Amino acid sequence: MAQVWNIDPTHSEVQFKVKHLVISTVTGTFKTFQGSLETDNDDFEGATAKFSLDTNSVDTNVADRDAHLKSGDFFDSEKFPKLIFEGKLEKKGDDDYKLVGDLTIKDTTKAVELSAGLGGTMVDGYGQTKAGFEVNGKINRKEFGLTWSQVTEAGGVVVGDDVKLHLNVQLVKT
């Protein structure tokens, strides 16, 4: 019988990091997201993963930059309100997994592979079984149609192409 684990958004976070002017890093988060794992066993091997986030919930602590990210230059949040991932967990070691699947940003879908570490499972004070994963990876934003670019007078690039992804997710067994 399939077991469903839903992301607990109050104990989870979705972050990204991208180079700015090649010399510093800007960190952003997405505030609104949902997802689940569905598995037939206790160790998450082969679990089906579904995840989406609201591109309009991007937050870099700078309102003007957030508005630019939501615009047609980047996410085009009005036309493409969701970023979607669907894939599977593949076990590599005891608590070491890789998350492989299709990531859709705007109208572009590409295969991605992310690393996922299982932090463990625990029953909380309310009797709910929880599991924690830390997910890391990197994508090239231009491969997903996020091609806006600008060059400084000195020839430097304003926004780097590589985006580092970092998710800490707590899942609740339903």
- Domain extents for the chain? 3-173
Residue 155: is its pLDDT beyond 70? no
Among residues of the chain, what percentage have pLDDT more than 90? 74
Q: pLDDT tier at 43 (50, 70, 90 boundaries)?
A: confident
* Each residue's pLDDT tens digit, 94-122: 999 999 999 999 999 999 999 999 999 99
Q: Which residue has the higher pLDDT, 61 or 145?
A: 61
Q: How far is CA 119 from CA 14, 19, 40, 83, 97, in A?
A: 16, 28, 19, 25, 11
Q: pLDDT tier at 18 (50, 70, 90 boundaries)?
A: confident
Q: Which residue has the higher pLDDT, 74 or 146?
A: 74
Q: Which two tokens stand for residue 92?
A: 């590599």
Residue 156: is its pLDDT beyond 50? no
Q: Which two tokens stand for residue 109?
A: 């879908």
Amino acid letter for position 116: A
Q: pLDDT tier at 150 (50, 70, 90 boundaries)?
A: low
Residue 64: is its pLDDT beyond 60? yes
* Each residue's pLDDT tens digit, 116-140: 999 999 999 999 999 999 999 999 8
The Cα–Cα gap between 173 and 126 comes to 12
DSSP result, 21-82: TTTEEEEEEES-EEEEEEESSSS-TT-EEEEEEEGGGEE-S-HHHHHHHHSTTTT-TTT--E
Please determine, looking at this structure, whether the domain spanning 3-173 carries the CATH number 3.40.50.1580: no
Q: Which residue has the higher pLDDT, 156 or 106?
A: 106
